[in-house]
Amino acid sequence: VKLFKLGEFGFIDRLKRLAPAGRGVEQGIGDDCAVIHFDARRWLLTTDTLVEGVHFRRAWDSAEGLGRKAFAVNASDIAAMGGRPRFALLSVAVPGSVAASELEGVHRGFIRAARARGCALVGGNLSSAPQWMISVTLAGEPAGAPLLRAGAHPGDALYVSGVVGAAAFGREILLRRRRASLRTTRAFLRPEPRLALGELLSRRRLASAAIDVSDGLLQDLGHLCGASGVGVVVEVNRLPLARSLRPLPRKRALELALGGGEDYELLFTVPAAKEHRTVVAARPVQSIRRIGRIVEGRGIKLVDASGQEVSAGRLGFDHFKRKIKK
């Protein structure tokens, strides 16, 4: 079977069977980070790659900007587990024709972003390749009990941080034109990992489950619900749509917000008894919005303001199924 038929997540399901959890593994393949026990402590491990022609085009950003984004998208997975990034490995592959200053730029952007978050670059790898590839591995320490995707219960409220849809809209603008103002593309080029919020949710035991929105809100919500064995009702009128989506037709804005991906916001569930405390605690840290409720059963149900079911439309971003064309 071809990968584009199986899909990224179909393949990950195969991997889970190929790589059973070993000694010291609390959470193996299938969450935002692995949770391992080493030296009598818990550590979070995650890795992610940015590939030219798939995740970005070289003309879209500076080398520093790419380095910075590579850190952010990995740190977002640490945030989704409620941890702090501590140590990083950075592997970069570029064509041999690239200037040394550009390669240095990737590292400089990465190191600056990592240091600002208390994370040290401790190694990596360099290679030549026909196109740019930036691969990162992070080790993080959990602030409290790691926030897993499994753990949501019927009755829990579903929250999302920040706004959604801006990154996908920014990517669309970049795909259409070579250059665009950073104002419209910032959400795509400069995502901010929600580390303070993740840490708060974990340390104060407020969230029952969490995931970051990398592949699209509906897709990632599907992973959270699947891991938790629950269903969910999402009130689409409560979605915190990015301001940049306002000029768009409502249907298009919802498509970007629900299926676009790369928002790197946190999607998390909160037991009803902890909702008030969560809203109060999050206020000085990060805007959050309740967008739905976990229910018994399976699947994602979208409802409008009057409670009428609306169709889901196009779903998230699956790596082997869709690519940015060069």
- Residue 255 interacts with Mg ion (CB under 5 A): yes or no: no
Rounded to a whole number of angstroms, the minimum distance from the CB of residue 43 to Mg ion is 17
With respect to Mg ion, which residue has the nearer C-beta, 161 or 214?
214
Among 156, 199, 212, 265, binds Mg ion (CB under 5 A): 212
Number of helical (H) and strand (E) elements in the chain, helices listed first: 10, 13
The stretch among 1-9, 205-213, 229-237, 270-278 that binds Mg ion (CB under 5 A) is: 205-213
The residues in 56-95 that bind Mg ion, with binding defined as CB under 5 A, are 77
Q: What span, in angstroms and rounded, lies between the C-alpha atoms of 104 and 110?
A: 10
Rounded to a whole number of angstroms, the minimum distance from the CB of residue 138 to Mg ion is 12
Task: Name residues whose C-beta falls within 8 Å of residue 33's C-beta, 6 or more positions apart in sequence.
Answer: 27, 44, 45, 46, 77, 78, 80, 81, 83, 140, 146
- Strands of the chain, DSSP E: 25-27, 34-38, 41-51, 83-94, 120-128, 133-142, 157-161, 209-212, 231-235, 266-270, 288-295, 300-303, 309-310
Rounded to a whole number of angstroms, the minimum distance from the CB of residue 303 to Mg ion is 26
Among 32, 156, 255, 265, binds Mg ion (CB under 5 A): 32
Phi/psi of residue 139, each to 5°?
-110, 130
C-alpha closest to that of 31 among 262, 206, 208, 227: 227
With respect to Mg ion, which residue has the nearer C-beta, 32 or 156?
32
With respect to Mg ion, which residue has the nearer C-beta, 47 or 131?
47
Rounded to a whole number of angstroms, the minimum distance from the CB of residue 313 to Mg ion is 22
Q: Kindly state the greatest CA–CA separation across the chain.
A: 59
Residue ranges in contact with Mg ion by CB under 5 A: 32, 77, 212, 214
